Each structure stands twice: as structure tokens, then as C-alpha cells.
Amino acid sequence: MKAVRAIAAMTGLLATLPAGQLAAQVDRTNPPPLGPAPTLRVPTPVTTRLANGLELVVVPMHEVPVVNVTVIVRAGSVRDPRDGPGLATFTANMLDEGAGRRTALEIADEAAFLGAQLNTGASYEWATVSLHVPKRQIGPALDLLADVVVHPTFPDSEVIRQRDLRRTGILQLRDQPTAQAPIAFNAIVYGANHPYGWPTGGTEASTTALDRAKVQAFYDTYYRPNNTRVIVVGDVSLAEARQLLESRLGSWQRGTVPVLAALEAPAPASRTFYLVDKPAAAQSVIRIGQVGVPRNTPDFYALRVMNTILGGSFTSRLNQNLRETHGYTYGANSAFAMRRLAGPFTAAASVVTAKTDSSLIEFLRELRRIRDEPVPAEELEKAKAYITLGMPSDFETTQGTAGQFLDLLTNDLPLSLYSTYLARVTAVTAADVQRVARRYLDPDHFALVVVGDRSQIETGIRALNEGPISLRDLWGQEIH
């Protein structure tokens, strides 16, 4: 302290420094300049195909003796029957409830004993079986994975057990406003004729109607090697991975997989607030948006930059405004769900009940501003740098690397894409950002879904004079 004070006095600053302030001995006026950025080294994927049509991608990474295997099958929720939402996710969840000679608990025990994580699930387009395992156990772990993918037994007793657990989970949705909000939002934005609007976890009625025959038929139709891709990332070579998988998945039988009918999202309604009542809720869960874009849009890079500025980072406008300026929320964000078809654009936050109307004002202000005003140069450069310079971290782990390539594999994009990714982000201009904001954000047609305490928030929302209020249940259906 003494030495520091002396220096402060020498430089004549002491009198102007508030109590407790120190004068720096090194020059802290400006942050240290960044040296040249390290070169992005994207691991190189190699691809091959088994005789039965299964596509295999291998990305060797040898730093840690672990292997990550992800099997993706075009068996996601878009394949759900119209009158039976939830079948795709249920079938995927049933894969490890009995397979080969093992029962459900034996599969769980074997995976744990191998130190492996084995997970199954389904999203809108794809069902996924993933395995993360120490290299030394890759053989027996792949035996387990192959049984789960190719030889699930779907025992009646397990179908009933899991069906009943799922029904209980649906009952518990009432406790969870952050789980309710997307279900209602999707139903409102996509309606009843598009599978992106259906509840992927099923309804009470569709779950009650699940049985073994439905699951087996769905599996037999879609789980085929010629409808499947596998990516292996980790401590293996292409030859090794190919041999490991050929011996286990090579005899899996091809099948004829039905082609999906073309789908169109409904035309949007004019801007409307949709209120889902959650009495005594401490916060209002807000989801604002509309139909967005598919992953293969040529505007992908401009959209990525635009959304990073709008709500895709901590310093984004939505988070700065609603959290750091107003303190209405612990965090606000936005995202485009880009899939084979146009998924939703969603801006989201959980806000304190008393500031629900004020929060909606700030959301709309930011969502309009990014359309109306060109983004300042410094803000644009920060967003582009955040994306491009941050890319090495995306490829640090086997799971992270798998995720990067799965984004391409699930959207039928070339695996060489990362070689041009940086240049394409760098090329985005302020005019591009404004153009895609105007094209893909349409505040006149936003659906604004609020799950919260109606008695506390309805009057304030009405007073905004920004659109009518429609009361909805937790499935997004109109309450009359």
C-alpha cells in the first residue's frame, strides 16, 4: 500500500482519486493487444459406407483415450402419426429397455460397469443413440450399442412400464412453466397440421394409446442401415472404426423407407399474446417468435451473426437490456432452431411477474430496433470475432467435435463446410445483418406466449396495446 501511494503522489493523482482507489504501476489504460489468433485446426473427417448402406464418418482424436459414437436414424418426431404424437421419442426411449439377450436393467448395469454413457432419444428429424466410453472398453460397449440399435426387443412389460412413467411425466408438466412454454409455443406457431407443432413427448391420450405393436412397426419402418449415419470421434483410426462397426452392424438388414410428404408451415396470424395461466407463479416465462428458416438457408452466416448480436451471447442486446440494464431477468436470449425444414425463431426469458409488461416492451423494442437501424461497426466486429475466434473451443472434446459434424450430417451438408466457415462469417456486413433481420423477423406477426399468473399480468399486457390476448391451456389450445 505504501509503495503504491508513493507512486500515486508522484504522478500527482492522489488528490483526484476517491478513497480506496489505487494508482496502477503498469499501464492499464488500454487492454493488452491481442496477438495473432491461433490457426483453427479442424479435425479431418473420413467417410465410408458399409455394404448395407450405412454411412460411417470417423474423426480420429488421440489426446484422451476415449471414444464417442453417435448413431443417427431418420426416425424423429416428424415421422409421428398425426393422431399419435410422441411415438418417435417413445420408440427411441424404448431401444435400451431390452435388447438382444439383455433386459432393461441389465443394459443399464452393463453400460455403467463399462464406464460408458449410453443414451437414446429423438428430436424432430433424427433418432439418436450415443455412446461415450473409455477406449479400453470400446469392444463390449459397441456390442451393447449394436444390440440396442439393431436388436431391441420391446418387451410388453417394459412398454407398459415406460408408458406409465411417461403419463406421470405429462402430469408433472403442470409444475414446470419452462417445459410448458415451448409446447404451447410450437402448437401456436405451427398449428395442428405440421409436426413441428406437435408435442414430441406425446399427450395424455396419445401416450395412453401406446403399445408394443405401434413401437415395433415404427422401428421396423424407419430403423434401417440405409436410413442411418454413424459418426465415431476419438482414439481410433478409420480402419479400426470400420472393422468395429462392420462386424456389429454389417448384417443389419436394409429396408424401404417411406418418403416424407412435403410440409408447409401455416401462414402466421397477426401479432397476438397467448396467455397460459400459472397461478401464483413467481416469474412469467416468455417465448416470442414465429416460423424461422431451415438449416440449409444461404443466409445461415448472416443469421448467425445477426442472432449473436440480438440474443445469442452474454453481451447481446436482449440480455444487456433485460438483465444488465433493467434487472428484470436472470437472462434473455434468442435462437433460430434450424432443421431440415424451417424451425422456429424464439426470443426467451423468465422475468419477474411484476415486470412482465415492461419486459415485453423491451423485447419488442429490441426485436424492432435490429430491423430498423444498421448495426454499428464495433458491435458487428465483436459478434463476428466471438463466432470465428471461438471456434477452436468448439472442437476441443470428442463430444464437441461430434456435435459440430452432427450439425452437418443431420442437415445433409458437406463435411468440408468448416473449411469455408470462418471466411463466410467474416464476410457478413452490416447491410447483411439488417437485411436478414428484416426478412426473418416479422414483429407484426409474432406469437408472444406468456406462462404466468394471469391475475397479475393480464391487465398490464392488455394496456401495451400491442395486440389481442388469447387464453390457452398448456398444450397451446384455445380456452373457451
Partner 1 sequence: MKQSGTTSLRAVGLVAMAVCFPVLGTSRLLAQALHVPYETFTLPNGLQVIVHEDRSVPIVAVNTWYHVGSGDEHTGRTGFAHLFEHIMFMGSQHVPTGRFDQLLEGAGADNNGSTTEDRTNYYETGPSNAAELMLYLDSDRMGFLIPEITAEKVDLQRGVVQNERRQRVDNQPYGLAEENILSRLYPAGHPYSWPVIGSMADLQAASIEDVRNFFRTNYAPNNATIVISGAISPAEARRLAEKWFGEVPRNPTPVQRNSPAPFTLAHDVFATLEDRVQLPRVFNAWHTVRSFSDDDAALNVLADILAAGRSSRLYKRLVYDLQIATQVTSYHDALKMDGSLRLFATARPGHDLNELQHEIDAQIRLLADSGPTAREIQRVQNQTESQFLGQMETVLGKADQLNQYQYFVGTPDYFEQDLNRYRRITPADVQRVARQYLASAHRVVLSVVPQGQTNLAVTEGVTP
Site residues for partner 1, 163-202, by CB under 8 A, read 164-165, 168-169, 171-172, 174-177
Q: Output Rg (C-alpha) for the chain, integer angstroms.
A: 26
| Member of 280, 414, 444, 480 binding partner 1 (CB under 8 A) | 280
Strand partners, 152: 99
What residues from 372 to 391 belong to the interface with partner 1 (CB under 8 A)? 381-383, 385-391
| Member of 9, 13, 64, 423 binding partner 1 (CB under 8 A) | 64
CA angle, corner 50, sides to 106 and 216, nearest 5?
A: 45
* Residue 215 CB coordination number (10 Å): 24
CB closer to partner 1 out of 324 and 412: 324
Q: Which residues contact 458 (CB under 8 A, 6 or more apart)?
A: 275, 469
* Shortest spacing between CB 161 and partner 1, in angstroms: 7
CB closer to partner 1 out of 264 and 314: 314
Binding of residue 476 to partner 1 (CB under 8 A): no
CB closer to partner 1 out of 10 and 22: 22
Tell me the torsion sign for CA atoms 301, 304, 308, 309: positive
User: Total residues contacting partner 1 (rule CB under 8 A)?
Assistant: 89
| Member of 108, 238, 469, 471 binding partner 1 (CB under 8 A) | 108
* Shortest spacing between CB 468 and partner 1, in angstroms: 27
Distance CA 183, CA 474 (A): 7
CB closer to partner 1 out of 75 and 383: 383
Binding of residue 109 to partner 1 (CB under 8 A): yes
Distance CA 427, CA 423 (A): 6
Binding window for partner 1 (CB under 8 A); candidates: 70-78, 108-116, 363-371, 428-436: 108-116
Binding window for partner 1 (CB under 8 A); candidates: 290-298, 313-321, 338-346, 458-466: 313-321
The residue among 339, 436, 393 whose CA lies nearest residue 125 is 339
> With the CA atoms of 205, 275, 351 and 288 taken in that order, what torsion angle do they form, in degrees rounded to the nearest 10?
90
Binding of residue 32 to partner 1 (CB under 8 A): yes
Q: Which phi and psi angles does 294 have, rounded to 5°?
A: -75, 160
What residues from 123 to 142 belong to the interface with partner 1 (CB under 8 A)? 132-134, 136-137
* Shortest spacing between CB 178 and partner 1, in angstroms: 8
The residue among 316, 301, 386, 387 whose CA lies nearest residue 347 is 316
CB closer to partner 1 out of 49 and 113: 113
* Shortest spacing between CB 385 and partner 1, in angstroms: 5
Site string for partner 1, 316-345 (x = CB under 8 A): ----x--xxxxxxxxx--------------
* Shortest spacing between CB 320 and partner 1, in angstroms: 7
Q: Which residues contact 223 (CB under 8 A, 6 or more apart)?
A: 73, 75, 127, 149, 150
CB closer to partner 1 out of 26 and 267: 26
Binding of residue 15 to partner 1 (CB under 8 A): no
Q: Which residues contact 265 (CB under 8 A, 6 or more apart)?
A: 189, 190, 194, 196, 291, 341, 342
Asked whether the beta carbons of 169 and 176 are under 8 A apart, the reply is no
Binding of residue 6 to partner 1 (CB under 8 A): no
| Member of 6, 239, 282, 479 binding partner 1 (CB under 8 A) | 282
Binding of residue 24 to partner 1 (CB under 8 A): yes
Q: Which phi and psi angles does 302 have, rounded to 5°?
A: -65, -35
| Member of 29, 253, 256, 465 binding partner 1 (CB under 8 A) | 29
* Shortest spacing between CB 352 and partner 1, in angstroms: 6
3-state DSSP helix/strand/coil % of the chain, to nearest 5: 45, 20, 35
Binding of residue 411 to partner 1 (CB under 8 A): no
User: What is the amino acid identity at position 93?
Assistant: N
Tell me the torsion sign for CA atoms 152, 154, 155, 161: positive
Binding of residue 350 to partner 1 (CB under 8 A): yes
Binding of residue 89 to partner 1 (CB under 8 A): no
